[in-house]
Structure formats: structure tokens, C-alpha cells
Amino acid sequence: MSLFTWIWRKGQGKARRLKQAKEEAQAEIEQYRLERSQGNLSAEVEAQTRKKLQAMQGGQARGKDRVLRQLLTLVWDVRPQIHPNYQSRSFFYDSVVASALFYTVVCWSSGSTERDKNRLNKLVRRASSVLECPLDSVEEMGKRRMLAKLTSIMNNTSHPLHQTVEALRSSFSGRLRRPRCGKERYRSRH
């Protein structure tokens, strides 16, 4: 191998190493630029995140009073509602039990025995415990129903018993007198 060839090869190796070093430097510069741009990008992302966070906190502070007012309104504004099961039980009582009791009271109230009244009152108390609300006793119900019936008869002049009830009215006080009975068993037991 000649000296010239040897120098030429050494030069080529050196040139190759210089070219490789230049490429490595170029790659490092690109990587630095990329990191710097990403650093700027991450700084921009952080700045945008801070702005959004501040906007959210400001919105939260503005909406906090409104939300608290709504929550307090819901807590303070209690609207009691009857439970659907209670409504169905009450409907059953009104349609079945109460109608039978009202019929019984109107028909038998004055002529029923104490034992019958106690049995009916027991039924009313049991219905009251099932419905979880107080109900009137048979006596109270009888008085109220008879008063309502007599009032409707007295107010309706075309009712067949209107004349009979009017004849029982006292001319002095306007109250109703008891009908006269010839037999003791028809008189009230009070």
C-alpha cells in the first residue's frame, strides 16, 4: 500500500468521522429544539390549565350561593305527601268499611245494644291502627251522620219526611223535639 493511499484512507476515515460527528451534533440540536418547543408547549398547556382552573373556581364561587339557596330551599320547603299505600288503605276503608259502618250507624244507631256498639267500636279502632290515623267512634259517627241526614231532610222541601220532621220542630226554640212513642222499647235508652 502506498503512502498516498494510506493518507487518502486516513482522510476518508477522518472525513467520515467528521461527517458522523456533524450528524450527531445536528441530531442533538434537533432534539434540543424539540425539547425546548415541548417545554414551551408544556408551559403553554400549564398556563391554559391555570386559566381554566381559575375560571372554574370563579364560576364555582359565583354559582355556590345559588346552589346553596336551592339546597336550603329543598331542605326547608317540606311538602308532606301521603304515601301511596296509605292512600290505597284509606280508599279501601272509605269504600268498604266506612260505607258499611255508615249504613249500620244510620239504620241501627239508636236501637243497637251496648255489645253491638262495642264490637263496632273495636272494628273502628282496628281500622284506625291499620290506617295509622284517628277515626271517630260509632257514637260520634252516628250523631254526625244523623245530623247530616236530618239537615238534608229539613232543607229539601220535596223530601217525603220533610213535613214529619218540621212537625217535630219546637216553635219556641226551633230545636227538634223527640217523636212521641207509645211503647217503651221505641224510646231512646239514654
Comparison of pLDDT for 6 and 53, the residue scoring more: 53
Q: Which tops the pLDDT comparison, 58 or 190?
A: 58
Q: Are 138 and 124 in contact (CB under 8 A)?
A: yes
pLDDT (0 to 100) of residue 117: 81
Tens digit of each residue's pLDDT (9 = 90 or more) over 138-163: 778 778 877 888 888 888 989 888 88
Q: How confident is the model at residue 190 (pLDDT cuts 50, 70, 90)?
A: very low
Q: Report d(CA 119, CA 126) in Å as an integer.
A: 11
- Classify residue 120 as exposed, middle or buried by CB count within 10 Å of its CB (0-12, 13-18, 19+): buried
Mean pLDDT of the chain: 76
pTM of the full structure: 0.41
Lowest mean pLDDT among 53-62, 80-89, 132-141: 80-89
Closest CA relative to residue 103, chosen from 79, 138, 58, 150: 138
Residue with cell 429544539: 33
Q: What is the pLDDT of residues 30-61, one digit of tens each?
A: 887 777 666 666 777 788 888 888 887 777 77
- pLDDT reported for residue 184: 65
**If you write DSSP's letter for every residue of 1-13 in order, what string do you get?**
--HHHHHHHHHHH
The region, left, alpha or beta by phi > 0 then psi within -120 to 50, assigned to residue 80 is beta
C-alpha–C-alpha distance, residues 133 and 83, integer Å: 13
Confidence of residue 10 (pLDDT cuts 50, 70, 90): low
